[in-house]
Amino acid sequence: MSAPPPSTGLPGTIITQPPPPTTTRESRIATHSHIKGLGLADDGTAMESSQGFVGQRSAREALGLHLSLLKQGRYSGRPLLLVGPPGTGKTALAIALGQELGQRVPFCPLVASEVFSGEVKKTEVLSSCFRRAIGLRIKETKEVYEGEVTELTPSEAENPLSGYGKTISHVIVGLKTVKGTKQLRLDPSVYEAIQKERVVVGDVIYIEANTGAVKRVGRSDAYASEYDLEAEEYVPLPKGDVHKRKELVQDVTLHDLDMANARPQGGQDIMSVMGQLVKGGRTEVTDKLRQEINKVVDKYIEQGVAELVPGVLFIDEVHMLDMECFTYLNRALESPMSPYVVFASNRGVCTIRGTEYDGAMGEGIRSPHGIPVDLLDRCMIVKTEPYSRNEIRTVLETRCRVESINVAPAALDKLADEGEASSLRYALQLLTPAAILCKTAGRTEVTVEDVSELGDLFLDTKRSTGILKELDAAAKKY
């Protein structure tokens, strides 16, 4: 079975190459930095505290069962709905589910209010998010030349278009492996690719025979020194022959393919480049283009060249969507190329957006969690419970380790009391200001006095509501 020919990027062809990888940077400490997984034992039961997760044992076990169904590929089109009061870990559960699936499975988080944009339609935003959550793993067997660069000699010739200057006619590249060496005479375009990768003698590279693409793997370990700090990544000398067949695996989402084919292929002159920069808004992809891409993807899957990897689409605050969006979700969930969808809502019975003028007395259609009954009937619902005081204290200890804050046990107890009386979020928000007060006072450990001082500086939701009620009652009295 022959693999499909590589795309040339010309009009009328479907681009199947993923975009170049972006430079990964260490992420900053965020709200859910401590969440590493669901914290389940081998038998599927939830441990009291594991992988950064505390409490919510029933919900975690339910998501663990859901996870096993996902891995078996038996859960497409059946959304999961997380319901519970604010601050009970619904978003954390969805993030933990994405962590359990691994880095190579797409995870697309979305807040429902992001759907309402002035640039593109609501259904287009939802459709692009669905495509972001569906991965395509392309396996290609290519002929490559791989080895350590022993020679890199460009050959110059007179420029035929001008009497001044010279141009590169070809480049001689010597490659060495454990088994032998080989000298290649390559086109000037390959030399440009070598320059872009900043390849020098001693680097390990591979060159694709069909496309001429050059990839720098790293520096040969023969050049490794004994310094403690090394600026280079050293790799061993490749085994086998210089010319070989190599299987390459590329992970790309359907949204990446949509964007690669939707962008106009303009010229390379300065006016074309500036025009693309000025127009840089969000591109709306037509259904016709998506259908053409789906046909190519289906053909690749039938040939065994590609594998579909359904990911997770997480829609938080789903009650903010309107009736048009819910109608689109009903259709999209029935598609054979649907990802796994997780909803979250902290509302009870409320009016569905977009139906404010429907129903009796113009109150709109009221439904549990603000979701239409026909979509709610598709969902498997998981409930989250408020945290107990001991669980709040354990979460605070975990966040102290993540944020490198030293807190005295008595201060931690007072913060846990604040979390129980008000909310877990309020207690977590006091951690960093308490550390700043502690540092200002010249101490290395947060004390009870720091927490008490913050209680005078900041109000929690319940105290603020009480003050407003007192002011309202006083105003009515007079």
CA atoms lying within 13 Å on the CB side of residue 421? 11
- CATH 2.40.50.360 residue ranges for the chain: 139-251
Which CATH architecture is the domain 139-251 placed in?
Beta Barrel (2.40)
- Distances 237 to 126, 145, 225, 249 between C-alpha atoms, Å: 47, 13, 16, 21
Structure tokens, 180: 């032998």
Q: Which two tokens stand for residue 390?
A: 């001991």
Looking at the whole model, is its pTM more than 0.85?
no
Check pLDDT > 60 for residue 443: yes
Q: Residue 271, class by beta-carbon neighbours within 10 Å (0-12 exposed, 13-18 middle, 19+ buried)?
A: exposed
Cβ atoms < 10 Å from Cβ of 1: 5
Q: What is the CATH number of domain 389-469?
A: 1.10.8.60
- The fold for domain 49-133+311-383 equals Rossmann fold (3.40.50)
Out of 18-27, 199-208, 217-226, 250-259, which region has the weakest mean confidence (pLDDT)?
18-27
**All CATH 1.10.8.60 domain ranges in the chain, comma separated:** 389-469
Report the range of poorest mean pLDDT among 135-149, 161-175, 273-287, 331-345: 273-287
For residues 386 and 341, give the distance between their C-alpha atoms in angstroms, rounded to a whole number.
24
Per-residue pLDDT for 73 more than 70?
no
* Mean pLDDT over each residue of the chain, to the nearest integer: 81
Q: Note the pLDDT of residue 343.
A: 92
So what's the pLDDT on residue 163? Answer: 59
- Work out the pLDDT band at 175, boundaries 50, 70, 90: very high
Which amino acid, one-letter code, is at 291? Q
Asked if residue 148 lies in contact with residue 11, where contact means CB atoms within 8 angstroms, the answer is no
Whether the pLDDT of residue 269 is over 50: the answer is no
| AA letter at 446 | V
- The C-alpha angle with vertex 119 and arms to 113 and 121, in degrees rounded to 5, equals 65
Confidence of residue 281 (pLDDT cuts 50, 70, 90): low
For residue 278, what pLDDT band results from cuts at 50, 70 and 90?
A: very low
Q: Specify the domain boundaries for CATH 3.40.50.300 within the chain.
A: 49-133+311-383
Q: Radius of gyration of the chain from Cα atoms?
A: 29
pLDDT in tens, 20-45: 544 434 445 667 777 887 888 888 78
Q: Nearest Cα to 339, choosing from 141, 54, 107, 53?
A: 107
Distances 16 to 60, 248, 260 between C-alpha atoms, Å: 38, 14, 8
Q: How far apart are CA 169 and CA 155, in angstroms?
A: 6
